[in-house]
Structure 1
Amino acid sequence: MSHSLSMPASCRASLRTSFAMSGALVATALLLPLTAHADQQSSETPAASGETASYDTTDESPRSAYLSDWYNQNVTVIGSKDIRFGPQKIDDIYLEYEFFGRKGPLDLYGYIDMPKFFGIGNAADSGAFDGGSPIFAEIKPRLSLNELSGRDLSLGPISEWYLAANWIYDWGHNSDNRQNTLYTGLGTDIDTGSPLGMSFNFYGKYQWENYGAENENSWDGYRAQLEYNYPLASFDNGASLFYAGFTNYDFGSDLGDGDSTRTNEAVVATNAFVYSFTHLRFLAVARYFHNGGQWNDGSELNFGDGDFRVRSTGWGYYLGVGWQF
């Protein structure tokens, strides 16, 4: 089940001036790369690592602190507690590679998780080395209709329109342990007239594999996604503190119609705080689940080891430390 911390698209855009993004849980995305926080700092401000806090290039200093002037990457070790995308809460320590950037009309965000990479997790957790999924991935490309058309398509507070997609893939060891989901629709960036960054995406969902659920190989529901971010503080040591969040509302599914343990709707709201230097970053995330993964909170299940009660509503938490490059 998803570990996503994807970064909100509006956050990625403002940071790179700079989701995307979300990215981001988030991020993330997301979770949550803050590579471009340095755009808001002076190029003379030294980071704690001894490098300039800004990655802007000049004729005198052509090399950036990063490998690319648009494609941002980070690797993060994340510890998670009480994650509720499945019928059983998951605790895990895993490795994540995350990437995002804007190039012409393309606004790109994505990540690849390696669940239980360090062999640490609770009884419900599994990963690459104990018969579970070796990879969980999410890719969120958006194409700017403004740039593709060469026109100003702004409408009221909506500054930019996108063709938007979100592909999620869990590479389980067989079809009953695999997810393959595609969301497609329209996205927007919203001008709030303040440091608050915001975007909104609306998708229809096509479900291929879904861990053996009844809605496989069908169009099944919609997702409304609101992403938001706010810079909180900059410090004399070159670090920045940033808030990024997003809320996903899934609705219109038929999954719960014939199964009392499933639901037709679900909500996930993510709140992330990131303390970031030029390369080193620390993150803390609180995520609220309501019927996470469309599992009906309080229903009873038995997977062969005795009855248990689904706990798909409540809070989950993440802590991480990563390196941006």
Structure 2
Amino acid sequence: MYKTLAALSISTALALPGVSFAVDYSDDIRKNDYKWFTFNLMQSINNRIPFGFQDDTYFEMEFGGRSGWLDLYGYLDVFDVLNSSNSDRNKPEGSNDFADNFFFKFAPRASLDAITGKDLSFGPVQELYISTVTNVGDNALFEHYIGIGSDVQVPWFGKVGLNTYARYVRENFGADNESEWDGYMISTNWFKPWYTLSSGDFITYQGYLDYKFGASKISDDVNRTTTAVEWFNGIYYHTPQWAFGYGLKYYHNMALFKDGGFAGDTTGWGHYFSANYKF
């Protein structure tokens, strides 16, 4: 498994052009420390969450930063925050249809450069990490990812996160692969300011691409798939205190549920509108 992860990470990184962009921690391991935290009010339209939870207004607490060798990103989504009957996650009075109330993502990465004190950069790869992700829903989802991560310098985009993981399934809506290692994920993320106003406000192209594959232990289930894609493309307007954005997201077999199966519509384009308050 680990040989597969290393081969995938290195081959993907080497496919990108560029020169070495090393991060030097020899003088101060904390010189690149930073942190950020936002409260986000989100509106999703026609997203492809399994079991028909497509339209919702929800609250998100999002955070990230760097502290020495630890790089961190995460968020907590609280669904149907307005208790609206127009939300697909709203539970009608007397109904037994229970939807998730929250979703939590926690994604710490440990810098191998900072821990070892060595320059591990090569080509466009700026820094290497041991990367992890944990996804938790309060109904029937609990999964862990661990693998090799990197920061890669990409033309125009600048620094892009590139991570390759193996997937451990703790809970998966009752699937046969629970309590098993099953599949892999390659993920990228970016934050590109591309226009700055005279006021200092700026516009960004920000997003991520997650590709899951190799989930072979559920391949015999007609309602499951071995591959899935989530691709988020956001255009955001940033001020010092606020950000306002629109996101166009493509789903393919969301969460490894086959499109048109018992989980419903899991492939297609979804839309997100966001108002973010920055701390």
TM over 0.5: yes
Q: Could you list the runs of 5+ residues in structure 2 that have no partner in the other structure?
A: 1-32
The alpha-carbon distance between structure 1 residues 318 and 72, as it changes in their structure 2 partners (threshold 3 A), is same
Cα distance in 2 for partners of 1:244, 1:320 equals: 13
> Post-superposition shift, 1:70?
2.6
Number of the residue aligned with 2:210: 248
Q: Report which stretch shifted further, 266-275 or 186-195.
A: 186-195
Counterpart for residue 136 of structure 1? 103
- Per-residue deviation, 1:234: 0.8
Shift of 1:192: 2.8
Aligned-residue offset at 1:179: 0.9
Counterpart position of 1:80 = 44
Q: How many residues get paired? A: 243
Aligned-partner Cα distance in 1 for 2:251–2:85: 20
Match of 1:190 among 152, 165, 184: 152
Structural RMSD (CA): 2.0
Structure 1 counterpart of 2:20: none
Q: CA deviation at 1:90?
A: 1.4
For residue 319 of structure 1, the aligned residue among 273, 276, 279 is 273
Cα distance change on mapping 1:195 and 1:315 into 2, 3 Å: closer
CA spacing shift, 1:288–1:169, aligned 2, 3 Å: same
Aligned partner of residue 259 in structure 1, secondary structure: coil
Identity %: 31
Q: Which position in structure 1 is the counterpart of 2:17?
A: none
Where do 1:263-274 residues align within 5 Å? 263-274=225-236
Which residue, 171, 174, 199 being the options, matches 1:209?
171
How far off its partner does 1:195 sit?
Answer: 4.9
Once the 2 structures are TM-superposed, how far is the Cα of residue 310 of structure 1 from its aligned partner?
2.7
- 1:220 aligns with 182
Q: Matched residues in 2 for 1:252 and 1:162: separation?
A: 23
**What is the rounded CA distance, in whole Å, between the counterparts of 1:286 and 1:147 in structure 2?**
36
- 1:119 alignment counterpart: 83
1:157 counterpart residue number: 124
Given that residues 56 and 87 in structure 2 are in contact (C-alpha distance below 8 angstroms), is that contact kept between their aligned partners in structure 1? no
- Name the structure where strand makes up a greater proportion of residues: 2
* CA 226–118 in structure 1, closer or farther in 2 if over 3 Å, else same: same
Look up the SS of the partner of 1:204 in the other structure: strand
The letter of the residue matching 2:268 is G
SS of 2:52's equivalent in the other structure is: coil
Letter in 2 for 1:317: H
- Counterpart position of 2:137: 170
Spell out, residue by residue over 1:150-192, the C-alpha distance to the aligned partner (whole angstroms, 9 max, x if none): 01111111110001000011112xxxxx211100001001123
1:96–1:107: structure 2 CA closer, same or farther, 3 Å change rule?
same
> 1:146 is paired with a residue of what secondary structure?
helix
Q: One-letter code of the match for 1:264?
A: T
Scaled by the length of structure 1, the TM-score of the pair is 0.70
Q: Which residue, out of 256, 260, 264, partners 1:294?
A: 256
